[in-house]
Amino acid sequence: MALVSGKEILNKANKEGYAVGAFNINNMEILQGIIKGCREKKSPVIIAVSEGAIKYAGFDYIVAMVNVAAKENIPIALHLDHGRDMDIIKKCIEGGFTSIMIDASNLPFEENIEKTKKVVEMAKPFNIAVEAELGRLVGIEDNISVKERDAVLINPDEAKEFVKKTGIDSLAPAIGTSHGAFKFKGKPKLDFDRLKEVKEKTKIPLVLHGASSVIPYILEMVNSYGGDLKEAKGVPEEDIKKAISFGINKVNVDTDLRLSLVAAIRKVLAENKKEFDPRKILGPARDLISEVVAHKVELFGSSDKA
C-alpha cells in the first residue's frame, strides 16, 4: 500500500467512532516497533514527525523509512506534528507527507485563522489532511477556577467559527492535557464537557495532544534501573477512552514511546555490564515499543480497522 491521506484515516474513524494512534518517531527502531504493534492488531496508524525529528534524522531519511513501512498491508499516513515553520511545512507538503499539522495556537485568533488558511490552500491540490490547534496545552487540575480554565482552554464557539473559516480537516482542542512526562501535580482533570461541545459544534475529527499515560509498569522499570522520574504522571487510560467516546479520533503519543525505549535500554545495560552490541541494546527497546503500541491501539478501538 502507498501512504494514505490522513483525511481517509480520520474520516473513517470519525464515522465509526474510534481513534487512531499518532505515534512520534525519531529513528528506525521506534518506527519498526510502532509498525509491528499495528500490524499485529491490523490497525491503521499515523506516523508523526516533529520539526525537531526532521532536523535530527534528516528529511530524506524520514520519508524513505516511512515509505518502506508503507509496504505493509495496513493504512499508514505520514504526518508533520506541530508544524510552525512555513518552509518546513511547504517541504513536507511537496515531499510526500500525507497529513500536516499547522500549529499557530500561540498567535491571536484571527492570525491563527489566516496562517491556518494558507496551509489549507497549499495542501488542497495534494489531498493532504490539515490539522490545527486552538487553546493552550497546559495541564488542568482539580482546583482550577472557571475563569482560569476559560483563559487557556478552547472556546467551543470560536472552534465552530475557526473550522468554518479555515476549512481544516481536523482540530486539536486544548482540554487540559499537556506534553511530556509531568502533566499533572494533583489529580488529572480533562474538560470533557468542553470536548463534547466542541464536537457538537464542529463535527470534524478531533485530536488529543499530550495523551501519553506514563504507563505505571514502564515508569517503574525506568526508575528501578537507574532512572529518576519519580513524579511523572500522565493521562489515565480510562480518560483516554472517555475522550474517544466524546469524539476524539486521533490520539498523539510520544512520551510513552520515549519512556519505553529508555526503560528497555536501562534494563539491558544494568543487567549486562559488558554488553556493547547495539542490536542487543536497541532490539529489546523496539520490542517493548511494539508491545506498548499494540496495547494502545486496542484501547483506542482501531484494531481490525485496517
Catalytic positions, written as ranges: 81
Rank residues 43 and 50 by Cβ distance to Zn ion and give the closer one: 50
211 binds ligand TD3 (CB under 6 A): yes
260 binds ligand TD3 (CB under 6 A): no
Among 112, 255, 290, 302, binds ligand TD3 (CB under 6 A): 255
179 binds ligand TD3 (CB under 6 A): yes
36 makes contact, choosing from ligand TD3, Zn ion, none, with CB < 5 to 8 Å by partner type, with none
Q: What's the rounded Cα separation, in Å, for the pair 206 and 306?
A: 20
197 binds ligand TD3 (CB under 6 A): no
Lookup: cell for 278: 547495539
254 binds ligand TD3 (CB under 6 A): yes
φ/ψ (deg, to 5) at 176: 115, 10
Using an 8 Å Cβ cutoff, are 255 and 300 in contact? no
Minimum gap (Å) between residue 86 Cβ and ligand TD3:
19
Q: Using the rule CB under 6 A, give the single segment among 124-132, 149-157, 184-192, 207-215 that binds ligand TD3.
A: 207-215
H helix intervals, 17-108: 28-41, 51-57, 59-69, 86-94
Among the listed residues 35, 15, 91, the one whose alpha carbon sits nearest the alpha carbon of residue 58: 91
Query: Grid cell 487557556 — which residue?
Result: 152
Interface residues toward Zn ion, by CB under 5 A = 209, 252
Residues 6+ apart with CB under 8 A from 167: 117, 120
**Residue 124: DSSP 8-state:** G
Minimum gap (Å) between residue 276 Cβ and Zn ion:
35
Interface residues with ligand TD3 (CB under 6 A) are 24, 50, 81-82, 179-180, 209-212, 252-255
